Copies of this chain bind each other. A is one copy, B any other.
Amino acid sequence: MKSLHHDRLMTPGPTPVPEAARLMLARDLRHHRTTEFREIFRQTMEGLKKVFCTKNEIALLCGSGTSAMEACVVNAVPRGGKALVLYSGKFAERWAKLCERFGIFPILYEVPWGRAFDPAVVRDYLERNPDIQAVYATLSETSTGVGHDIAGIGRVVAETDALFVVDGISGVGGMECRTDDWQIDLLAVGSQKALMTPPGLAFVAVSDKAWKKRDAMTVPPPAFYLDLQAYRKSAQTNDTPYTPPRSLVAALLESLNLLNEIGIEEVWRQTSRLARAVRAAVTAMGLTLFAERPCDVLTLIQMPESIDVKRLLSDLETRFGVKIAGAQGDLKGKAIRIAHMGMIDELDLIGCVAALEQLLIEQGWELTPGAGLTAMQRELLR
């Protein structure tokens, strides 16, 4: 049955783009080697630093989040080097795959999907392997919904010569991430998550410790496009080494301005409140939260065996306009993921829970109508 409804993008990337940013995308195209663009670039860098909580230089890449991750590997550890990978989830796996591709030996500290890493264990690994050159971690693991203890792990890594490298792609801009305070040496971020910009831009914030390692490399890294030195050099004149996606940068600046107008700490607080409300709804609906240490930007919900998850996702989309994500790996077909970051707001999430309630009841799940919504309202009213 066709019906009139809005589409609601509630996936952990891409996320909805604010109107001010979308309008920038609709503008006539302008050239990028201009004073005007250099000013946009300068303001964008300023805005990114506030959001990332860093004074470090930031490389602005035209690429997906994975391009930023690759830059964090090839610019940090030379071929033959050793890295510790905190291994639990699809995106942690990507760090390991990247290491392998570039001849870096990954030592895996593995915990089951849904569990979090213990900084004390990271210390053990580092003590037993003093030749580890970098530790690869994930702020919010999008495939499990876990938010890892980056502050705690950062303290441990900072005691060593190893670089602390964090995939903050889905978390930064939505949940607490204090790049400098947490001593993150390389932070990878993407545009299409909490930064509320279409996919196409990626960022790497680089600490002095990381620049020193990069500059000390005697063999050039297996990278030309992703060689961070080129980005540092161009950034000195507020420019990029290769053609930047100009419209996306202009859109990003609008989204950054929105975040910084509110203040990034206030944004974290609001995201965290929404995350708690969604978790309250999940429990009240008799469903199971997967992450032992849930992140604030998305919630992974395990579904009862009786529920046809594929049908649920399709009904959500076609009947309610709600696009959320399924799950990956072993969780595929058994779980769903709701994002709560960026422009995805309180009423979007209430609507999503309402639609879920209706569809779960329709699929025979024992649930009092309004149970999830009521729990959510109580949490929001605290």
Contacts and interface: CB of A to CB of B under 8 A. Distances in A.
Contact of A348 (B196, B259, B351, B357): B351
A354 B358 contact: no
Interface stretch (A31-39, A115-123, A125-133, A373-381): A373-381
A16 B26 contact: no
A354 B347 CA distance: 7
Contacts of A3: 262, 270, 345
Given A1-B266, A346-B355, 5 more contacts: A3-B262, A4-B259, A4-B342, A346-B351, A348-B351
A321 B354 CA distance: 19
A350 B321 CA distance: 14
Closest 3 CB pairs of A and B: A370-B374, A347-B351, A369-B377
22 contacts: A1-B266, A2-B266, A3-B262, A4-B267, A4-B343, A5-B345, A6-B343, A6-B345, A6-B347, A320-B346, A321-B347, A322-B347, A348-B351, A350-B373, A351-B351, A358-B380, A358-B381, A368-B374, A369-B378, A369-B381, A373-B377, A374-B374
A258 B261 CA distance: 38
A361 interface: yes
A266 B345 CA distance: 30
Nearest to A23: B26
A22 B202 CA distance: 30
A8 interface: yes
Nearest to A379: B369
A5 to B, nearest CB: 4
How many copies of this chain sit in the oligomeric assembly? 2
A270 B16 CA distance: 27
Contacts of A259: 4
A339 to B, nearest CB: 13
A134 B375 CA distance: 55
Nearest to A362: B381
Interface in A125-174: none
B345 A355 contact: no
A3 B370 CA distance: 26
Nearest to A355: B347
